[in-house]
Chains A and B, each alone.
Chain A
């Protein structure tokens, strides 16, 4: 392989549940050890290694601290890379997607800032619920399909919260 597992880099066992505080504080300790600033007066090749190591560390940290990316990464560890966009049948969720989007459009039309705040907290709850579901199924190889479906739902909600932020920005103008 050559590329160490992101979890191993932080001395963690691969798991969906991670202690975010602990992850962050380990990240800072490791960053301290390998950041190029530590090597500002070192030789050129040490500086180059420092840039590479820091880049790896940052990538690993960004992957592990975001639940959706962490979930994708876990599934990619013992299986094929999960395709980003696939048209897998998920009619229930499709209905819900349409509903979310309609609501968001209404909020935009009415420039309803309080409504946006409520929408955001509901969205957050839905994301927590998905995370819980994923945590329960991901280890079970027999339920791989279900896990993949959950990841795709997580990705959709991420996209949706991005759109909410853009809406907030537009309403700010």
Chain B
């Protein structure tokens, strides 16, 4: 007879089946993919042994180039070569102009306010450009690891707002990746350093990348990471150092600042090169056009000090937000290529009064941490030492109220997932509809906050002003994505929305892009849809069977269990038939019939956690 397997809730009963999952650092300047192989997390190289993929995409009329070659072509073909696209993610046309950078691209508006970049291959949204980068990484991982990926953990700056997170998720979807979790970059870095294995302590993660700066304050406690506060500046990074040096070069050379895109890139390249050489040298020779000169460290530091100071101010603010004192921070982790700049290390060390950790390559540390978390989420190392990351939302969420004011429903740095409700009322007699305007930001005035979405609650029964009670509920999931619902209590009329930022891609646009990508890949859309249904169904069957094995005897009576098992068989039976609609229907039925079981399992795990606690206390 077969031996019964005993599994923890949520644990896969077949531990030998290792699932392939990767961590992806989708960076402003560079992107990387990493995976856990033979128990070690490592970044995966391409065919030439390079692990870093420059986040540059060049569009030709008939093909797309990603990486080193695209980056190299940047100066020659700036209009069709997109770099630093991360800065455009989740931004509206207005935002992009406000970024104040001299971006060389030709922008146009889409169905929503999302900026599209005009290229020889047609209009490209930032989401599509990011998807092209992700596709290359996915293919690299699948080739290296030898199989299809069950999913990926993709890192985002902690400072990313809802729109930017949603855009990242959309890009992954376009690239055919199943997102296990969007993970904050600084948290990933802490995981990479294995700080989770420390007993207790406070850690600051200072992450200065190409285009963004993040500071996070984390509390570690026996495998649980609690993000106490995050802050930063989504428009501050090493690129700004380059701009500062470039400005200095142009001034020294007496060249007007108003350059064409190609010349602009050329001078930025010279600046970036000088910056990198200054990490080891005290002074470097710089040549641009006919001009030659020397840039010494003191001058360089004078140029970047205001930028570094901006980052330090954000550090102090995050420390205050987390309710701790600077002296209590036990470790400082450095992330991002720009932390190689000696001046940055020096200033950070001075602020925190200790030398920062720099052992792991600051370019790879985020991808490595993401890979470790992806491995855990795919279910490869369930158990007591499993890592748990408790994240917070970076910006407050709220609603517009009378007078153009923002009413905060969930303040920033609240631990997620979170659900919170607030009651509102009507202000006119017989008011039948209410506009719900969802906002994000810290300022009082609606005009100063970011508008995330608007929707209307209709069909409120006629009442005098102030009599209706409208409960608006905000729910933020573990990825930091928001959904909002509104309900009139007396009548029960309801409206809800999965917040799609006003300047994100519309579902229609995504559908169109997916179709385009199928066409260009030469694959059959129907076949793809069928394959997706089959994968979803197989995943559900596995989840249900593993749940039955773990808790079926305990939580179900014979009849309930038989019903579930029957539905599992019904779904399995139609799995091989090429009928996507039938699979979808049976999947839905199985999902419905196991709903109560799922709820009971959750309650049981809460009780189990408490019971475990009592045992420990007895031992004390």
A residues lining the B interface (CB < 8 Å): 9, 11, 24-26, 28-46, 49-56, 58-59, 61-62, 165, 168-169, 172-173
Of the residues A24, A40, A46, A51, contact of B547 by C-beta under 8 Å: A46
Select one of A28, A32, A36, A45 contacting B595, CB under 8 A. Answer: A45
**Closest chain B residue to A36, Cβ basis:** B478
Q: How far is the CB of B118 from chain A (nearest CB, A)?
A: 39
Q: A51 with B181: in contact, given A11-B613, A28-B224, A30-B609 (CB under 8 Å)?
A: no
Which of B19, B416, B547, B606 is in CB contact (< 8 Å) with A58? B416
Given A42-B543, A49-B598, A51-B477; A29-B417 close (CB under 8 Å): no
What's the minimum C-beta distance from B329 to chain A, rounded to whole angstroms? 17
Known A28-B222, A40-B377, A41-B539; contact A51-B417, beta-carbon cutoff 8 A: yes
Question: Contact at A37–B224, with CB atoms within 8 Å?
Answer: no
Flag if A40 contacts B594 (CB, 8 Å).
no
**Interface flag for B316 (CB, 8 Å):** yes
Interface string of B591-620 (1 = CB under 8 A from A): 100110011011001101110111000000
Asked if residues A34 and B605 are in contact (CB atoms below 8 Å), the reply is: yes
Smallest CB separation, A80 vs chain B (Å): 15
Interface core residue of A9, A28, A43 (most chain B CB under 10 Å): A43
Q: A33-B605, A43-B598, A62-B415 are in contact. Are A165 and B181 (CB under 8 A)?
A: no
CB closest chain-B residue, reference A10: B610
**A53 nearest in chain B by CB position:** B602
- Inter-chain contacts of A50 with B (CB < 8 A): 602
Residues of A within 8 A of B614 (CB): 11
A-B contact pairs, 20 of them (CB 8 A): A11-B614, A26-B610, A28-B221, A28-B388, A31-B224, A31-B390, A34-B602, A34-B605, A36-B417, A36-B478, A38-B9, A41-B12, A41-B377, A42-B547, A46-B543, A46-B598, A49-B602, A53-B606, A59-B420, A172-B316
Contacts of A59 in B (CB 8 A): 418-420
Q: B563-604: which residues lie under 8 A (CB-CB) from chain A?
A: 591, 594-595, 598-599, 601-602
Residues of B close to A32: CB separation below 8 A = 223-224, 386, 388, 609
Min CB distance, B604 to chain A, in Å? Answer: 9
Task: Kindly list 19 other residue pairs between chains A and B, CB separation below 8 angstroms, not including A34-B606, A37-B181, A165-B320.
Answer: A29-B609, A31-B224, A32-B609, A40-B180, A40-B377, A41-B12, A41-B542, A42-B547, A45-B591, A45-B594, A46-B601, A46-B602, A49-B602, A51-B475, A53-B602, A56-B419, A59-B418, A62-B414, A172-B317
Contact of A29 among B10, B540, B613 (CB under 8 A): B613
B389 an interface residue at 8 Å Cβ cutoff?
yes
Whether, in the assembled complex, B428 has its beta carbon less than 8 Å from a beta carbon of chain A, the answer is no
Q: Report the Cα distance A59→B336, complex, angstroms.
A: 34
B406 CB → nearest A CB, Å = 17
With A43-B591, A49-B598, A51-B475 already in contact, the answer to whether A37 and B609 are too (CB < 8 A) is no
**Interface presence of B150 (CB below 8 A):** yes
B379 within 8 A of A: yes
Q: Which of B285-317 contact A (CB under 8 A)?
A: 313, 316-317
Partner of B150, one of A41, A43, A45, A58: A41
Cβ of B417 and Cβ of A41 under 8 Å apart? no
Mask: chain B, 409-434; 1 = CB below 8 Å from A; 0 = not = 00000111111100000000000000
A37 near B377 with CB under 8 A, answer yes
**B602 engages A40 (CB within 8 Å):** no
Interchain CB contact under 8 A, B591 and A40? no
Report the Cα distance A89→B150, complex, angstroms: 63
Alpha-carbon separation in the docked complex, A165 to B313 (Å): 14
B9: chain A residues within 8 A (beta carbon): 33, 38
459-514 of chain B: CB within 8 A of chain A: 475, 477-478
Closest to A165 in B: B320
Contacts of B390 in A (CB 8 A): 31, 35
With an 8 A cutoff between CB atoms, is B378 at the interface? yes
9 smallest beta-carbon distances between A and B, as pairs = A55-B419, A40-B377, A33-B609, A33-B605, A46-B598, A36-B478, A43-B543, A54-B417, A28-B224
Does B249 belong to the interface (CB within 8 Å)?
no
The distance from the CB of B156 to the nearest CB of chain A, in whole angstroms, is 16
- Give Cα distance in the complex from A34 to B544, angstroms: 17
In the assembled complex, the Cα of A56 lies from the Cα of B69 at a distance in Å of 50
Residue of A nearest to B313 (CB): A172
Beta-carbon contact of B478 and A37 below 8 Å: yes
Contact A55 B609 (CB under 8 A): no
Contact A33 B316 (CB under 8 A): no
Residues of B within 8 A of A56 (CB): 419
Using an 8 Å CB-CB cutoff, how does the interface string of B1-33 with A read, 1 for contact, 0 for none? 000000001101000000100000000000000
For window 82-121 of chain B, which residues contact chain A by CB distance below 8 Å? none
B312's nearest neighbour on chain A, judged by CB, is A172
Taken together as a complex, chains A and B put the C-alpha atoms of A43 and B601 apart, in Å, by: 12
Which residues from 330 to 362 on chain B have a C-beta closer than 8 Å to any C-beta of chain A?
none
Query: Chain A residues with Cβ under 8 A from B417's Cβ?
Result: 36, 51, 54-55, 58
A35 pairs with B388, CB closer than 8 A: yes
Q: How far is the CA of A49 from the CA of B222 in the complex (A)?
A: 25
Which residues of A lie under 8 Å from residue B389 when comparing CB positions?
37
Contact A29 B612 (CB under 8 A): yes
Contact of B418 among A24, A58, A169 (CB under 8 A): A58
> B180's closest neighbor in chain A, by CB?
A40
Chain B contacts for A165, CB-based, 8 A: 320
Q: B540 near A30 (CB under 8 angstroms)?
A: no
B-side contacts of A34, CB under 8 Å: 602, 605-606
Q: Which residues on A sit within 8 Å (CB–CB) of B539? A: 41, 43
Q: What residues of B have a CB within 8 angstroms of the CB of A52 in the complex?
A: 419
The B366-396 residues at the A interface (CB cut-off 8 A) are: 376-379, 386, 388-390
Mark interface residues in B174-218 (1 if CB within 8 Å of A CB, else 0): 000000110000000000000000000000000000000000000
